């Protein structure tokens, strides 16, 4: 649990904010030097997401999506805008959201809100989103803040909406990264936090074709 590795909560958050302020506002910056994996990532995410958007009685809508930890809008641009009418973005780094306005190009006009805020302090508008996408950012939240944030996400869903987490998974326990002030949790810990937030897992998938040296990456869909 994060309580075992995060000694000072204020420091945990402020150090992460400082780290991201110094990261270049580029796709390579967003992916920690692994910009070349972006297309593999997006293509897998699209396949995962589309199973919920197909026809059926419980089909997830395509009106509005929220990109959490959005950075410059890599996921907004290539995954969410092609599938949803409008997208909102939230990120703690103002420079990234400023860059997003040019990076997204003409399609960026369909991004209605740019929220500059840490997820521990952010509340999605209730009953508003078909999909809330949370990628490579849960490590910047303590367990309690992550659970509380997921509860607020649950309230932010429209009927048949889903919350998606895509992130690194540790082999065992919780590992602290002092460089960017984040934690990496194992699958069991993440599943427990999801349950604690009152969410039900609909699907879970391991990302394939990523470099061997990085953490395993898993995608979860829940409501």
Annotated binding site: 69, 74, 91-93, 119-120, 135
Q: Which helix (H) or strand (E) holds 143?
A: helix 143-156
| Selection from 27, 137, 133 nearest residue 79 by Cα | 133
Residues making up the annotated binding site for S-adenosyl-L-methionine are 69, 74, 91-93, 119-120, 135
- Count of CB atoms within 10 A of residue 36's CB? 11
The strand pair at 86-91 and 174-177 is best described as unpaired
Buried residues in 104-127 as b, exposed as e (16+ CB within 10 A): beeebeebeebbeebbbebebeee
User: What's the CA gap between 151 and 56, in Å, rounded?
Assistant: 26
Interatomic CA distance for residues 63 and 53, integer angstroms: 11
Q: Which residues contact 47 (CB under 8 A, 6 or more apart)?
A: none
Measure the CA angle with vertex 68, ends 172 and 180; round to 5°: 50
Under 8 Å between Cβ of 73 and 113: no
């Amino acid at each position: 649990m994060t309580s075992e590795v995060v000694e000072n909560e204020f420091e945990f958050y402020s150090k992460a904010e400082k780290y991201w302020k110094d990261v270049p506002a580029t796709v390579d910056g967003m992916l920690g030097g692994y910009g070349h994996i972006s297309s593999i990532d997006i293509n897998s995410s699209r396949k995962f997401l589309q199973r919920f958007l197909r026809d059926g009685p419980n089909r997830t809508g395509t009106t509005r999506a929220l990109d959490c930890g959005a950075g410059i809008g890599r996921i907004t641009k290539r995954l969410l805008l092609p599938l949803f009418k409008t997208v909102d973005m939230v990120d703690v780094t103002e420079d990234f959201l400023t860059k997003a306005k040019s990076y997204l190009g003409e399609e960026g006009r369909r991004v209605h809100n740019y929220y500059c805020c840490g997820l521990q302090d952010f509340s999605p508008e209730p009953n508003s989103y078909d999909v809330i996408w949370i990628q490579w950012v849960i490590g910047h939240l303590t367990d309690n803040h992550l659970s509380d944030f997921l509860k607020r996400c649950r309230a932010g869903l429209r009927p048949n909406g889903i919350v998606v987490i895509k992130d690194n998974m540790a082999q065992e326990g919780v590992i602290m990264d002092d460089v960017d002030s984040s934690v990496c949790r194992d699958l069991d810990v993440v599943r427990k936090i999801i349950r604690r937030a009152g969410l039900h897992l609909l699907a879970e998938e391991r990302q394939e074709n990523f470099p061997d040296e990085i953490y395993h990456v898993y995608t979860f869909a829940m409501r």
